[in-house]
Structure 1
Amino acid sequence: MKLNFFKSKETRHTIAFYNIENLFDVYDDEITRDNDMQPTAEKRWSIKRYKNKLRKIGYAISCIGEEDVKRHPAIVGLAEVENEAVLKDLVYSKHLDDLDYKFLHYNSPDERGIDVALLYDEKVFKIAYSKTFTVDLLDDDGEVDHTRDILLVSGLFEGLELHVIVNHWPSRRTGDVATEHKRMKASEKVTEVISMLKEKNSEAKIVVMGDFNDDPESNSLKALEASHGLFNPMRTLLSNDRGTTSFNHSWNLFDQFLITHNFFERKKNALRFVEANIFDADFLKEAEGKYKGTPYRTYVGKHYKGGYSDHFPVYMVISKK
């Protein structure tokens, strides 16, 4: 059932998030661990493969939410980008060049050299402020354990104040239980950022997005949700047959949005939540074999598949009335 106060789709926009699986250029960066993504490495990353990746990711982004709002996303949070150069190549790639996306990116201390970033349509979202926040972690030896920074971007969305917090929380590489404390730390940092925003404006409208490496019912997400009474519209989307990333034939919903409850207010001239979904179009899926229906990846281990990403994008539709 559609709510009757949405008179026209023309007032609707899509906000998306996409972990694009290691968008690296082919050049060696001595500071980060990018040796796998070199032409001479076992993965044999090349200019041809890089350009193919740009074209495919650009096409996927251009399609997100198109059936719902008939236009490209106004905002796209990204995870796993190497640097500013790959973002420039992405926004000027075949399917995005005409859309005039701008982007925001800061280098983070992550040892793998992967950062979060934000693409945005400046005609819809005009940025006023941005800042990154470091998640302070220690490894088992008491040394600093670097991970991705959290990105805050504030501005005017269709003339109305909006804050977007982009995340890529620590992975489960050594086990979900063994690494849970790292994601709890990231959750606490996001809670601090939201508190800071609400101190300045108690009615701040906030979208938290990202690859959290945890599902909606994980402790880190439940703690964040409870800390400021946030709403997680992704909670009901995870099932045995659907998610955003798959491991050992089991689905996870690591890619999510959490929003402040004032997205449900009915007053005039306000941004309102309409719906959220996984963008899992058929072209983003493995077409056959034992992994049929799962994300069509760029690599499986060292083996080049030539696909899009090991994650499906997610999106939410908001409306201004």
Structure 2
Amino acid sequence: MKLKTFFVLLLALIAIQRVNAQAKSYILHTVAFYNFENLFDTINDSNIDEEWLPDGAQNWTSKKYNQKLENLARVLSEIGTGSIQDKKNPNSPTLIGGAEIENRGVLEDLVKQPKLASSDYGIVHFDSPDKRGIDVALLYQKKHFKVTSAINIPLIIYKKQMDASAKKKNEADDASDDKSEVELNSERVYTRDQLLVTGFLDGEEINVIVNHWPSRSGGEKKSSPFREAAGALNRKIIDSLVKINPNAKVITMGDLNDGSYNRSVKVALGAKLKKTELKESGDIYNPFEQMAKDGNASLFYRDAGDIFDQIMISQQFTLPDYNSFRYWKAGIYNMPYMIQTVGQYKGYPLRHSINEVGFSDHFPVYIYLIKQIN
């Protein structure tokens, strides 16, 4: 009888533990990055935007511009709305990093789109020195994220950095149609600033860096020093944040124009493949490196896929407890309607053409942050 009673009590205890485990609930936030690919309005500006005007090469009319906004809004509203613990997550991304943005005005038009308006996105944007006039920005849901500071940090690079390292001539053009501009006197290469935004995500301080690193124009190897300089600047920013706060939580994301295996990411920034490799607070984990090894891609060029769009996190997001926001998992958002279905570029992202307003030549990427609340 005593033995029987013991087993009954043991089974009851196991059942109670299971109920408690099932009763756990979490706060979930999606963080996304999307290269909007030439999000230009139809107004002639001081930057080089003649191609993106009604009488320009793209015949960029108000109708096409509005369709582009509608397309982007559809994608952004859906990212991260998958399932967690068999429950639907209805919320669009809390934080969205963006690239290839002409000005603040196009972002204001974007967040007013019907599919995004209810999310009440705020905007952090600065004009960068890029001569094409394309910038990076951060959109954030005001009800969840409170901005405390924002700064654009310039990437100062010079043509001589490319020339000094380039021994091979006539390399193939790169996978990006993004071109850096060079000032003839100083030969400075004008490219995008790195945007640093600090704020409180549901009361917890985090730092977000939004990037669009220099293109591969002139060839991957020849232009690599520019992106290595961008990675080094990223590393410097992160080190500064950790010096101020040893427990700083940092997210760095963007179109890096390099894969997770390139020197700019692996050496200059020092991103790690595995969470077990993280030893210090400022160490960076890149979940997209394994995804690339598994054959996933956020863009394609010459029949080869790669992941140039990456979201990386500092060690503090990878700690084993869930008492504050932690990294859960990452993904690439590539729904069928965003993919070219016919022709030479079948399987590629459905981008804009002269006859069709697509989405982008990149797929957006995202991560989930979760926090246990009971």
> TM-score normalised to the size of structure 1?
0.93
User: Residues of 1 paired with 2:147 and 2:212: CA distance?
Assistant: 21
In structure 2, the partner of 1:282 is: 336
Structure 1 counterpart of 2:36, one-letter code: I
User: Residues of 1 paired with 2:308 and 2:102: CA distance?
Assistant: 21
1:74 to 90, 94, 97: 94
2:291 to 218, 234, 237: 237
- RMSD across aligned C-alpha pairs, in angstroms? 1.8
**Post-superposition offset of 1:316:** 0.1
User: Residues of 1 paired with 2:32 and 2:52: CA distance?
Assistant: 26
**Post-superposition offset of 1:268:** 5.4
1:308 to 356, 359, 374: 359
| Contact 2:191–2:214 (8 Å) recurs in 1 | yes
In structure 2, the partner of 1:19 is: 35
In structure 2, the partner of 1:250 is: 304
**Post-superposition offset of 1:289:** 2.1
1:7 to 14, 24, 48: 24
* Pairing of 1:125-136 with structure 2 (within 5 A): 125-136=145-156
Structure 1 counterpart of 2:63, one-letter code: K
Structure 2 counterpart of 1:232, one-letter code: N
User: Residues of 2 paired with 1:188 and 1:5: CA distance?
Assistant: 44
Identity %: 37
Bigger mean CA offset, 67-76 vs 231-240: 231-240
1:54 to 54, 57, 69: 69
2:239 to 184, 188, 195: 195
User: Residues of 1 paired with 2:261 and 2:27: CA distance?
Assistant: 32
Correspondence 1:94 to 2:139:
no
1:206 to 250, 261, 271: 250
* Pairing of 1:27-176 with structure 2 (within 5 A): 27-30=43-46, 32-68=47-83, 69-140=89-160, 142-176=186-220
Structure 2 counterpart of 1:144, one-letter code: R
In structure 1, the partner of 2:313 is: 259
**Post-superposition offset of 1:173:** 2.1
User: Residues of 2 paired with 1:97 and 1:41: CA distance?
Assistant: 30
2:228 to 169, 174, 184: 184
Gapped runs of 5+ residues in structure 2?
1-20, 84-88, 161-183, 273-281
Structure 2 counterpart of 1:203, one-letter code: N
**Post-superposition offset of 1:305:** 2.9
Bigger mean CA offset, 231-240 vs 111-120: 231-240
Correspondence 1:298 to 2:342:
no
Higher Rg:
2
1:225 to 270, 274, 295: 270
User: Residues of 2 paired with 1:35 and 1:137: CA distance?
Assistant: 26
Structure 1 counterpart of 2:75, one-letter code: A
User: Residues of 1 paired with 2:368 and 2:223: CA distance?
Assistant: 32
**Post-superposition offset of 1:265:** 1.6
> TM-score normalised to the size of structure 2?
0.80
In structure 2, the partner of 1:272 is: 326
**Post-superposition offset of 1:240:** 8.2
Runs of 4+ in 1 over 4 A off after TM superposition: none
**Post-superposition offset of 1:239:** 5.5
- 1:48–1:288 distance in 2 versus 1, CA, 3 Å: same
Structure 2 counterpart of 1:84, one-letter code: R
Count residues with an aligned counterpart: 313
- 1:296–1:240 distance in 2 versus 1, CA, 3 Å: farther
2:105 partner SS: helix
